[in-house]
């Protein structure tokens, strides 16, 4: 890929730029054209704005938690109600982050935008259902906000009974919100499964799909299979609070641990709803920015499905200390270890893809590298928690907090940011400042590690989670963590500013700024509202051999070798062998 020199005489293919009447952002105007849009790209953009807002709120709550923990006796919340406030803040931080941000972040925001474009389709299979699921998300978010405004929520995001059946905070509002959000998630997943099954263009076999689609497909399977169980669990919880049905109440022969089983039967697979799409993003990012065919395509594809299925068998590892039989705990522990196999397969394949690739250290690639590093730490510390003996010590300590933040924040959030930076030119047709983007990646990486590495040490030394105050001996590590959270917040702010500035003053983005070979780079940036005039020719999604960098226009273009019309001579009127038959 020599810079700027295209082979002479070759045909260059590039879709150019969209006109304002084609551009999906500008082809119809007014607020109503957005509110009632059925265009998957606009719905994706609305999701993007929504989840960013949710993330901002939950992130500020997280900063509040960290600031409070700056001093052993608590710095922010004072007085008699201090601990209650602290409980409410960490509950809402967790609930908003999980239900409103992480679960819809990659699948709903990026997925909605990308799935049909990557398939060369005009839209998802059920556009109205798609819009409906966005409004269900908004509706669910409103329930959460009203719970926040009414009397808060202090059960932890897991709504464990008997906390949730005895507290006087607004559990019913919050669980109704989670119930509605569950349906939003189910409908999105259902839509994607149908879209990927029935709307692939001719020539795109299952093994010619971009890996992002494989990951989305695996995620959607979990969304469809696991979320209804959460739905009924939350309904039973609401019924428990309103009618005292007694299913979770020992006084009426019920069993509170039943709730934990039901809850984790959903919520453990939900962990994979959060991380699988991130795997898909990273697979695409690593391959495109290394300009090298993905290593072990089938292994990555199958491992996504394997994770989705294995994820249903391991929920018990959240409850090792809840009093299961020792046989059950051993089985759950063993099953938990099996999940690490497909996850490791992915990591090794990414590393092998980068090996001898020509890596461009663009902003998305910086995030992708940071993802591999952080996710590996998050995944490996999971093994400590899956081991029965060590989990007895580490259960409900800061070690757990650090572990899942390494997976959820270091994994999903970083991959989400990487994906947003990668597809931002495609979504909005603007290039952002590379220097600013890389700076944000560096700050997020440093801030994140500074925040959560000390928490591993805190946890293994016995600092329990969800405590508003702590022993002075933990103060230094807690303060380090708080400083780290400031840095992390600052890094995220930089990322937001870089992206928003690009909308105003960014350069116009070419159709293919990174050299990607998947279909979304074959339509203009931003795509026209119908995506493709006709279903595009489907090639290998990871074949970069015909893509060349064109320095004049700062873009990658598809190059076809010079064509000749063969044969140049006119055929004879009568073929030569015709003589013989006479």
Contact residues toward another protein (CB under 8 A) are 6, 11-19, 21-22, 121-127, 129, 186, 190-191, 193-195, 197-199, 224-229, 231-233, 235-236, 239, 243-247, 249-255, 258, 262, 524, 528-530, 533, 550, 552-553, 557
Whichever of 45 and 222 has its CB closer to another protein, that residue is: 222
Residue 267 or residue 349: which is nearer to another protein going by CB? 267
CB of 239 to another protein, least distance (A): 6
Q: By C-beta, is 168 or 572 nearer to another protein?
A: 168
| Shortest distance in whole angstroms from residue 123 CB to another protein | 4
Using alpha carbons only, what angle is made at residue 542 by residues 121 and 518, rounded to the nearest 5 degrees? 25
Q: Is the peptide bond before 92 cis (omega within 30 degrees of 0)?
A: no
Nearer to another protein, 227 or 433 (CB): 227
As measured in angstroms, the least distance from the Cβ of 574 to another protein is 38
Min CB(475)–another protein separation in Å: 41
Element (H, E) at 155: none
Peptide bond into 368 cis (omega under 30): no
Q: By C-alpha distance, which of 417, 443, 411, 415 is closest to 499?
A: 417
211-243 helix and 256-290 helix, angle to the nearest 10 degrees? 160
- Indicate the SS3 state at residue 13: strand
Of 311 and 418, the one with the shorter C-beta distance to another protein is 311
Question: Is 152 or 189 the residue whose CB approaches another protein more closely?
Answer: 189
Q: Is 508 helix (H, G, I), strand (E, B) or coil?
A: strand
CB of 425 to another protein, least distance (A): 17
Q: Which residue number, 144 or 183, has a Cβ lying nearer to another protein?
A: 183
Q: Residue 464: beta bridge partners? A: 397
Residues 6+ apart with CB under 8 A from 578: none
To another protein, the closest distance from the beta carbon of 518 in angstroms equals 18
Which of 255/434 has CB closer to another protein?
A: 255
Q: Is the dihedral of CA 158, 161, 162, 164 positive or negative?
A: positive
The DSSP bridge pattern shows strands 11-13 and 430-431 to be: unpaired
Min dist CB 172 to another protein, Å, is 15
- Closest separation in Å from C-beta 5 to another protein: 10
Torsion of CA 135, 139, 140, 144, to 10 degrees: 140
Query: 327, 398 in Cβ contact below 8 A?
Result: no
| Residue 526 CB-density burial (10 A; 0-12 exposed, 13-18 middle, 19+ buried) | buried
Q: Kind of pairing, strands 555-560 and 11-13? A: antiparallel
């Amino acid at each position: 890929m020599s810079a700027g020199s295209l082979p002479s005489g070759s045909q260059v293919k590039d879709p150019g730029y969209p006109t304002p009447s084609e551009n999906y952002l500008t082809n119809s105007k007014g607020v109503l054209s957005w509110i009632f849009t059925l265009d998957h790209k606009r719905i994706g953009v609305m999701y993007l704005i929504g989840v960013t807002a949710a993330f901002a709120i939950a992130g500020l709550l997280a900063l509040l938690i960290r600031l409070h923990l700056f001093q052993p006796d608590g710095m922010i919340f004072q007085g008699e109600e201090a601990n209650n406030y602290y409980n409410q803040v960490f509950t809402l931080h967790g609930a908003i982050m999980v239900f409103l941000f992480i679960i819809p972040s990659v699948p709903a925001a990026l997925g909605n935008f990308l799935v049909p474009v990557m398939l060369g389709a005009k839209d998802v299979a059920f556009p109205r259902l798609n819009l409906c699921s966005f409004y269900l998300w908004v509706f669910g978010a409103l329930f959460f906000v009203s719970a926040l405004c009414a009397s808060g929520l202090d059960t932890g995001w897991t709504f464990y009974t008997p906390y949730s059946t005895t507290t006087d905070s607004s559990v019913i509002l919050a669980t109704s919100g989670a119930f509605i959000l569950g349906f939003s998630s189910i409908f999105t997943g259902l839509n994607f499964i149908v879209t990927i099954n029935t709307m692939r263009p001719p020539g795109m076999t299952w093994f010619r799909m971009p890996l992002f689609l494989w990951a989305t497909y695996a995620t959607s399977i979990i969304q469809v299979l696991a979320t209804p169980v959460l739905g009924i669990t939350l309904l039973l919880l609401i019924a428990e609070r309103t009618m005292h049905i007694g299913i979770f109440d020992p006084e009426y022969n019920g069993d509170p641990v039943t709730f934990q089983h039901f809850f984790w039967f959903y919520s453990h697979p939900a962990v994979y709803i959060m991380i699988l799409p991130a795997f898909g993003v990273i697979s695409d990012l690593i391959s495109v920015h290394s300009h090298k065919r993905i290593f072990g395509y089938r292994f990555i594809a199958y491992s996504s499905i394997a994770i989705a299925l294995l994820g249903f068998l391991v929920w018990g590892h959240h409850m090792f200390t809840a009093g299961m039989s020792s046989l059950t705990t051993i089985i759950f522990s063993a099953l938990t270890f099996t999940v690490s196999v497909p996850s490791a397969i992915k990591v090794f394949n990414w590393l092998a893809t980068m090996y001898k690739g020509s890596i461009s250290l663009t902003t998305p690639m910086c995030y992708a590298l940071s993802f591999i590093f952080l996710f590996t730490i998050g995944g490996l510390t999971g093994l400590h928690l899956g081991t029965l003996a060590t989990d007895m010590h580490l259960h409900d300590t800061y070690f757990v907090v650090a572990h899942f933040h390494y997976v959820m924040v270091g994994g999903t959030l970083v991959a989400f940011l990487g994906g947003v930076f990668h597809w931002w030119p495609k979504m909005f047709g603007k290039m952002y400042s590379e220097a600013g983007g890389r700076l944000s990646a560096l700050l997020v990486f440093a801030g994140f590690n500074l925040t959560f590495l000390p928490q591993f040490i805190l946890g293994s030394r016995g600092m329990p989670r969800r405590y508003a105050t702590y022993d002075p001996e933990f103060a230094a590590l807690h303060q380090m963590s708080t400083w780290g959270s400031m840095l992390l917040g600052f890094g995220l702010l930089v990322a937001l500013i870089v992206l928003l500035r690009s909308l105003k003053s960014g350069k116009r983005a070419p159709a293919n700024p990174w050299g990607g070979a998947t279909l979304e780079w074959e339509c203009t940036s931003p795509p026209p509202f119908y995506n493709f005039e006709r279903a595009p020719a489907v090639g290998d999604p990871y074949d970069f051999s015909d893509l060349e960098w064109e320095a004049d226009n700062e873009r990658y273009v598809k190059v076809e070798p010079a064509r000749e019309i063969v044969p140049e001579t006119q055929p004879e009127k009568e073929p030569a062998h015709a003589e013989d038959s006479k």
